[in-house]
Amino acid sequence: MPIPSRAALVDHLVRSRIAGDVATPRDNNLSHYRKLANGDRHYWLGLELGDRWTDEQDVLAVMAERCGVNDDPSHRQGQDTIDPELTVDALERMAARLRKAAADGERVLFATGHPGGLLDVHRQTAAALRAAGCEIVRIPGGLFADEGMVFQFADVAMLERGATLWHTHSPAPMAAILDCFEHQGTPLPDLVVADHGWAGCAGQRGLDAVGYADCNDPALFIAEAEGTLQVTVPLDDHVTDPRFYDPMTAYLLDAAGLDVPA
């Protein structure tokens, strides 16, 4: 995989709709912002937001600043956007944290609630960090959450139900892993690389955590604004072909000083 320049990556993100005019409609975004502000914990992604975000206009303002959605509250229907420049900025912040993990030989846990889109992004990142001397944390066997099994495939923790890798926003699977580590006396990870409630739960527990989030998942952007998450990368987290993420992953790993797995 050739390493794209920043300009080439921005162009690719827009053409593949990872950023730019994304598939997520504006009314869906605003609905999620409103539900978060109304205290619906499904949209808190494992974070404890208290009463700090009860105005959906405040949520919209954060999303405009950190994700690049349209900041006009009267724009209620049609298309919404993710700013590709913000995506690349966040990738570079994430790369700096991965570089530190590699330099210090940290123990890193990977997890995804979006296996259909982001599994290989996490897998390639895990492989690159292992090659650089990091320990990729293995999760205990026999863990269950949300009527499914929490297991690890290709170095990435996921939820499985009925022989299907499960799309989930829930923090419960990550909580099951961290609770088991604490019960067993196993050291917690130095870094968690994840998305959805997996990232939110880890950050809320006080772990160093970085993650990816779509423009209809405002909680992780709020978490970065508050300092609970170190980095949140804005992107469409399930585009039509997961191979579209490969140039993005190559750029991330190269910026971190890591080899891109073959």
What is the model's pLDDT at position 261? 79
pLDDT, tens digit (0-9, with 9 covering 90-100), for 164-202: 999 999 999 999 999 999 999 999 999 999 999 999 999
Q: Alpha-carbon distance 73 to 255, whole Å?
A: 36
> What is the rounded end-to-end Cα distance, in angstroms, of the chain?
8
What is the model's pLDDT at position 250? 98
DSSP letter for 1, please: -
Helix (H, G, I), strand (E, B) or coil at 188: coil
Asked if residues 232 and 215 have their Cβ atoms less than 8 Å apart, the reply is no
Share of the chain above pLDDT 90, in %: 97
Within 10 Å of residue 97's Cβ, how many Cβ atoms? Answer: 18
Q: pTM of this prediction?
A: 0.97
In 3D space, the residue among 156, 249, 159, 215 whose CA is nearest the CA of residue 31 turns out to be 215
CA distances from 191 to 100, 101, 105, 109, 229 (A): 10, 8, 11, 6, 11
Separation of CA 124 from chain center: 15
In 3D space, the residue among 18, 33, 106, 34 whose CA is nearest the CA of residue 63 turns out to be 33
pLDDT, tens digit (0-9, with 9 covering 90-100), for 197-255: 999 999 999 999 999 999 999 999 999 999 999 999 999 999 999 999 999 999 999 99
CA atoms within 13 A on the CB side of 240: 6
- Write down the mean pLDDT value for the chain: 97
Residue 1: is its pLDDT beyond 90? no
Q: Alpha-carbon distance 112 to 193, whole Å?
A: 9
